[in-house]
Amino acid sequence: MAWLSERPKAVPTQSESPALRRYLARFEPHYLVLLAPLLLFVLAISIYPLAFSFFISFFKYRLTDPNQVKTFLWFGNYLNAVQDKQVLGALNTTLIFVAGTVISEIVVGLGLALLLSAETRLMQIVRSFLLLPMAIPPLVVGLVWKSLYNVDFGVIPYYLKQMGLNMGRGPLGEISWAMPAVILVDLWQWSPLLMVIFLAGLKSLPREPYEAALVDGASRWQSFWYITLPLLKPTLLVGLLLRTMQSFKVFDVIYATTGGGPGSTTTVLNFHIFTVGMTFFDMGYAAALANILLAVVAILSIFYIRVLERQRL
C-alpha cells in the first residue's frame, strides 16, 4: 500500500538548526504585527499613566485652577512630602496595617493549609467554600463588614455586648478598635489566598525526610519545625511578597468602612493620596506621594525577590 511506502519525515539535525533559525527569523516582523495591539494596550493603560505621573509630580498643578497653570517645582513636592507630618503619619499607619495583615494572614493561611491538606471529599468542599471571599470585590467586602460592625444593628457589636464588652460607637468608631477591625476584614478576605499558596507548597514537599524523622522518633511538632518550615521557606516568601504588595496598596476596605477615621487612625498612605488628589485636587503633590509609595513597594519587592533567590540556590 501507498502508506507503507511512505517514509517518516526526518527530524532536523543540529547541522540544520542554523538554517532553521534563519527561516524562522523571517517571521519576526509578523510576530511584531500580531503583538502590536497588545503593546499599544499596555502602553495606553500602564506606561503612559506612569510616565505622566512622574512628569506631573514635578509641578504645582491643581485641577481647580481655572487657568490650569503648571508651576515647575523641581523636587519640591517630594521634599514637602518628606517633611509633611500627615504623610509620615499615614506611612506609619500603613506600616502598622501591613504588619498586622501580613503576619496574621501568614499564620492563619499556614494553619488552614495544614488543617485542610488531606485529600478527602469533605476537605475539598471546605477549601472551596473558603475561597469564596476572594471572589468578592474589596469594596463590597468593606460595605458588608461595615454593616456587621454597625453599633445599632450589627451582629458583631450585639454579641460583644452579650459578652460584657461595651464598644461605645462600635468597633469602627473607637480609636483603639478601628485598626484591628479593619485588619480583621482583610484577614477574612485574603487568608484563603495564602492557604492555597501554602497548600501547593506542602503538596510539593518530598516525603523522605518525614519518613526518616518518623523512624528516628520525631514528634509532629518537631517534624513541622525542623522539616516543614525550612522546606517551605520559598513558598512562605512568595506569599509574603504578594500580600505585602497588596497590603501597601489597600484603599477599598478603608474607604468603605472607616473613611480613614476615627480621626486619622486608619488613614493609610493610599487613602491620603486619594484625599490630596480627589478632595483638594492637588494633582502634582498627589502624584509625588503615589511615586513615593511605588518606590517603597518596589524596594521591598526587590528585597524579597533577592532573599527568595538565595533560598533557591
| SS3 assignment, position 115 | helix
Cell of 197: 499558596
Q: Which residues are within 8 A (CB) of 178 and not within 5 positions of it... i.e. 6 or more apart?
A: 171, 172, 258, 261, 262, 265, 266
- The rounded percent of the chain whose pLDDT value lies above 90 is 60
- Residue 281's CB: how many other CB atoms inside 10 A? 14
Give me the pLDDT at residue 27, please. Answer: 54
Q: Is the pLDDT of residue 38 over 90?
A: no
**What is each CA distance from 164 to 95, 150, 168, 171, in whole angstroms?**
32, 17, 12, 14
Specify the residue for cell string 480613614: 260
CA dist 143 and 148 (Å) reads 9
Reported as a single tens digit per residue, the pLDDT across 8-36 is 444 444 444 666 566 555 556 666 777 78
Specify the residue for cell string 503583538: 35
Cell of 18: 542554523
Of 68, 197, 184, 81, the closest CA to residue 131 belongs to 197
Reported as a single tens digit per residue, the pLDDT across 140-163 is 999 999 999 998 888 999 898 888
CA dist 42 and 45 (Å) reads 5
Q: Does residue 176 contact residue 96 with C-beta atoms inside 8 Å? A: no
CA dist 311 and 66 (Å) reads 56
Cell of 219: 514528634
Architecture of domain 75-147+173-312: Orthogonal Bundle (1.10)
Q: Which has more pLDDT, 130 or 29? A: 130
Q: What is the mean pLDDT of residues 204-214?
A: 90
In the chain, domain spans: 18-71, 75-147+173-312
Q: Is the pLDDT of residue 188 over 90?
A: yes
Give me the pLDDT at residue 21, please. Answer: 64
Say which range, 70-84, 89-103, 160-174, 284-298, has the weakest mean pLDDT. 160-174
Q: Which has more pLDDT, 26 or 297? A: 297
Q: Is the pLDDT of residue 6 over 50?
A: no
Q: Does residue 238 contact residue 246 with C-beta atoms inside 8 Å? A: no
User: b or e along 74-112 (b: 16 or more beta carbons within 10 Å of the residue's beta carbon)?
Assistant: eebbbeebeebeebeebbebbeebbebbbebbbebbbeb
Q: Does residue 271 contact residue 90 with C-beta atoms inside 8 Å? A: yes
Q: What is the mean pLDDT of residues 107-120?
A: 92
pLDDT band at 99 (very low <50, low <70, confident <90, very high): very high
As a whole number, the mean pLDDT across the chain is 87
Give me the pLDDT at residue 88, please. Answer: 94
CA dist 211 and 293 (Å) reads 47
Of 233, 171, 150, the closest CA to residue 198 belongs to 233
CA dist 53 and 61 (Å) reads 12
Say which range, 116-125, 260-269, 280-289, has the weakest mean pLDDT. 116-125
Give me the pLDDT at residue 5, please. Answer: 42
Reported as a single tens digit per residue, the pLDDT across 63-97 is 888 888 889 998 999 999 999 999 999 999 999 99
Q: Which has more pLDDT, 21 or 185? A: 185
Q: What is the mean pLDDT of residues 264-282?
A: 94
Max CA distance (Å), the chain: 92
**What is each CA distance from 273 to 22, 74, 81, 114, 268, in whole angstroms?**
52, 20, 11, 39, 9
Say which range, 58-62, 118-122, 164-168, 293-297, has the weakest mean pLDDT. 164-168
